[in-house]
Chain A
């Protein structure tokens, strides 16, 4: 990019020089004029062309990188198309094959030679089996529907049970709340005291436990210590 600018400026200089020269000696300068100016012009052309080529090349590079990611995006579509084509081909082949096969089977069965008789016997058996299968399938369908109904009902029960449990919880908390509202102040004070004493109790328990651990004694052997140590975990009042 700098090259054309330079040549541009050189051009100007050259032109200026040419102009300044031309006034001096036209005839002699005409030959001189063509070569440097021409050369400069050619140089500029070439640099322009180079620049265009560079642009082209970089454009093509980016086009290529575009197409790989596009190809990845299009891949599932191509796979789908491929599978559709395969399926269509398979179906066509299947249709043709079945058509031919059963045409010849039908023709065979219309005759009355022993092979045909054997085929007919097999056919009869197939038909009987098909009726039986149909019966069983109907039964299965009926039973499956019943099972699905029962499962739906059970699930409905489950949902109702959960709803009722939630309602019960809400009711009990509401009831507790209404009771407490009457004696709010007293309860709050009582609660505060309780918390305070609980904290003290927990802290004392912690300290005692720490002491026992630090002394590294086996407190199980001493009945009094054991009695104390076994109560260091719980509180008589539920949390």
Chain B
């Protein structure tokens, strides 16, 4: 048939006077169009849909072969590619209108897997059918569960918000109540909070008890209109809306994977966070950050440009636009989408809308608890989780603070973590936790971390020490910015109004430092003073030694014996040099603190014990390195006389000075070689004479050991140096 059409067309074209090429182009287009339409008309799936849209009410189900065949066809398409929006509208309308009785309704609902978007109109129609009231309760529950599952795929939400009241009326139905509350939570706006609705919820609460779903909805109402909800709601609620076992989830993910590219994504490129792999087809899955869309479909809003209406966040392309419209921005319905856009995060940070933060935290909590923990073990699942966590981390990094829901998740997760799943991301998330009051820090953080630390590999130990170092840095940075002179209270989080006093903050910091000191001591003993672990531990103490001068926190904590001595006896000069640098910085901090105390008479008083510890350390170092006097009375390191004598080392008291220290002996040998190349017999103690000694020290400093240089300069006064200078 196509061929005959072709020939008749060609006859006509040969008779016509137009140019042959354009004619043939038009002809081929028309032909293609006609063929497509014919194919569609013959497509059995389309025919099946047609059947469902025109079947008359009252047609029997039992024994109806047409119905059975068509439904099987629809189901097959649904599970393989997903249903198009029109198909969803037709099938949903068919099911919810109960044209063929209640039996097919549940079956149809179960196979409604959308391929791309779900038209809002269809959902509204179905919700209205729900109120007509002949659908059995279990099917009603199924429908609401379906709406919740595909909520993010509904293309606009304004009509759903318009029928908020109708949806609310279902809350009295006991079986539907939890799911309706969840749906209402997702749709609520400030205008939806009315006195009679609050009253209704409180009535339900007295009937059903303090159910979590009621409490969540009431807490959202409270955020919007605190004067209407006088009920006290615990700030940390356990368990989000209980995630219903969703029969569609598995099928949905399978369909989406098969389809690959995400159709109809409305994220404009300017808004997306710098995504290096932007051209890669993104897999739309439940751990994916939802796309930033506006509440109403784009068509409706584009006409209204008057100054009264709100500008949806999705329409802003740049930071300038944000600044111009900052007072009339409309937040999207899905708060989780804010995490993907830097402009949106900036806005959220400035405005600090409590309801938005509440909903964002709620979504994040759900995503982390349900999706992340139960996302399965496949490689694709882990890569999805990895991407999600990376996005979350970049959002937190941008805001320079964490989210309360991710903190709560971490406290729970640490108890069940094995230490290796997504380790870098989890440790980064951990370092973003704000200051924890010292009464809770032990239980929440230290106990699970201790367990993990002592049963893990060397690399985990290093990673954890680094993470705690970052945490300390962030706490100190926060303190140095937010603790002003007059205020004794430091706010913990820019979102909440929780405050902590300066002394409480100091307690927490001290607990953290002591904890890391303890971990480091035992860790070094377990790992035999491994150089890598030692390096991370010294990193930590480099942060600690400067808390006063760099960050303005009046606190000085010395390293414990389990860290100091292994660092001093280290076999690589880099560690010893760093230790010297740290000691030098401690001295600078302590002297400056003492001076300030005398001048300003502030309430900063360093305890005597700190000074004693410091002196003890410095005396030990100088005695060993400079005076060649190890094992003096009062030193911490004192093996028995017999052991020392039996060790076979002559002059054991000089075995850790600058010449014989394991870290420096090769430099000494090298120096000796260079200084006295003619000598056959190496006599290292000849370096101890005053001139070669200063040359030797200069030689050491020339190798880059600034820490040693600073340490010696600040702790050793040399009359010999003065003599040397005169001689020169």
Contact = CB atoms under 8 A, between A and B. Distances in A.
Interface of A: 83-84, 86-88, 90-96, 98-103, 105-106, 109-110, 120, 123-124, 126-127, 130-131, 133-135, 137-138, 141, 148, 151-152, 154-156, 158-159, 161-162, 165, 202, 205-206, 209, 212-213, 216-220, 229-235, 238-239
25 contacts: A87-B521, A91-B569, A94-B569, A95-B569, A95-B630, A98-B571, A99-B652, A106-B660, A106-B669, A106-B684, A109-B665, A123-B670, A130-B703, A155-B400, A155-B478, A158-B400, A161-B350, A162-B350, A202-B194, A206-B165, A209-B166, A216-B131, A233-B162, A233-B165, A235-B191
B703 A131 contact: yes
Contacts of B661: 102
A213 B130 CA distance: 10
A236 to B, nearest CB: 11
Contact of A96 (B131, B578, B639): B639
Interface stretch (B65-73, B245-253, B641-649): B641-649
Nearest to A239: B191
Contact of A87 (B132, B525, B550, B630): B525
Given A127-B670, A134-B704, A234-B191, A94 B165 contact: no
Interface string B510-541: 00000000100110010001000000000000
Nearest to A133: B574
A127 B667 contact: yes
B706 interface: yes
Contacts of A91: 561-562, 565-566, 569, 636-637
B128 interface: yes
A52 B473 CA distance: 65
B574 A137 contact: yes
B274 interface: no
A137 B707 CA distance: 12
A231 B684 contact: no
Interface in B105-141: 124-125, 128-129, 131-133
Interface in B613-659: 630, 636-639, 643-644, 647-649, 652, 655-656
Nearest to A203: B196
Nearest to A134: B704
Interface in B693-728: 703-706
Closest 8 CB pairs of A and B: A134-B704, A102-B662, A123-B666, A110-B682, A91-B565, A87-B562, A99-B655, A155-B481
B704 A131 contact: yes
Interface residues of B, number: 78
B163 interface: yes
B456 interface: no
B163 A230 contact: yes
A99 B705 contact: no
A218 B120 CA distance: 17
A58 to B, nearest CB: 38
A227 B193 CA distance: 22
Contacts of B133: 216
A53 B684 CA distance: 77
Given A134-B703, A148-B477, A233-B161, A83 B572 contact: no
A64 to B, nearest CB: 30
A219 B682 CA distance: 105
A101 B704 contact: no
Nearest to B528: A94
Centre residue among A91, A151, A216, A230 by max chain B CB count within 10 A: A91
B482 interface: yes
Given A94-B529, A106-B684, A131-B704, A165 B194 contact: no
Given A92-B638, A94-B569, A134-B577, A239 B190 contact: yes
B162 A230 contact: yes
B318 interface: no
A151 B400 contact: yes
Contacts of A90: 525, 562
Given A127-B703, A134-B703, A102 B478 contact: no
Given A96-B643, A209-B166, A230 B159 contact: yes
Interface of B: 124-125, 128-129, 131-133, 159, 161-166, 169, 190-192, 194, 196, 349-352, 400, 473, 477-478, 480-482, 494, 518, 521-522, 525, 529, 542, 550, 560-562, 565-566, 569, 571-574, 577-578, 630, 636-639, 643-644, 647-649, 652, 655-656, 660-662, 665-667, 669-670, 682, 684, 703-706
Given A106-B665, A106-B684, A127-B666, A98 B636 contact: no
A220 B703 contact: no
Given A87-B562, A134-B577, A154-B400, A218 B128 contact: yes
A165 B352 CA distance: 10
Given A135-B704, A202-B194, A213-B131, A162 B494 contact: yes
A216 B132 contact: yes
Contacts of B529: 94
A133 B494 CA distance: 40
Nearest to A235: B191
Nearest to B195: A202
B706 to A, nearest CB: 7
B639 A220 contact: no
A65 to B, nearest CB: 27
A165 B669 CA distance: 66
Given A92-B639, A220-B124, 20 more contacts: A83-B521, A91-B566, A91-B637, A94-B569, A96-B639, A98-B569, A99-B655, A105-B662, A109-B666, A123-B670, A127-B666, A134-B704, A141-B542, A156-B481, A159-B481, A161-B350, A165-B352, A218-B129, A232-B165, A239-B190
A110 B574 CA distance: 24
A104 B323 CA distance: 72
B132 A83 contact: no
B165 A209 contact: yes
A233 to B, nearest CB: 5
Contacts of B573: 130
Nearest to B650: A103
A154 B401 CA distance: 12
Contacts of A216: 131-133
A143 to B, nearest CB: 13
B682 to A, nearest CB: 4
Contacts of A99: 647, 649, 652, 655-656
Contacts of B128: 218-220
A93 B670 CA distance: 29
Given A87-B521, A134-B703, A216-B132, A102 B660 contact: yes
Contacts of B665: 102, 105-106, 109
A92 B191 contact: no
B350 A165 contact: yes
A138 B124 contact: no
A109 B23 CA distance: 95
A24 to B, nearest CB: 83
Given A130-B572, A138-B706, A239-B190, A100 B649 contact: yes
A165 B480 contact: no
Contacts of B656: 95, 99
A156 B647 CA distance: 59
A99 B657 CA distance: 11
Contacts of A229: 163, 166
B198 to A, nearest CB: 13
Nearest to B577: A134
Contacts of A98: 569, 571, 662
A209 to B, nearest CB: 5
B649 A103 contact: yes
Contact of A217 (B132, B162, B194): B132
Contacts of A84: 561
Q: Which of B481, B573, B682, B684 gathers the greatest number of chain A CB atoms within 10 Å?
A: B481
A154 B566 CA distance: 38
Between A88, A130, A159, the greatest number of chain B beta carbons within 10 A of the residue's beta carbon is seen for: A130
B477 A152 contact: yes
A219 B561 CA distance: 80
**Which one of A96, A154, A161 has the highest number of Cβ atoms from chain B below 10 Å of its Cβ?**
A96
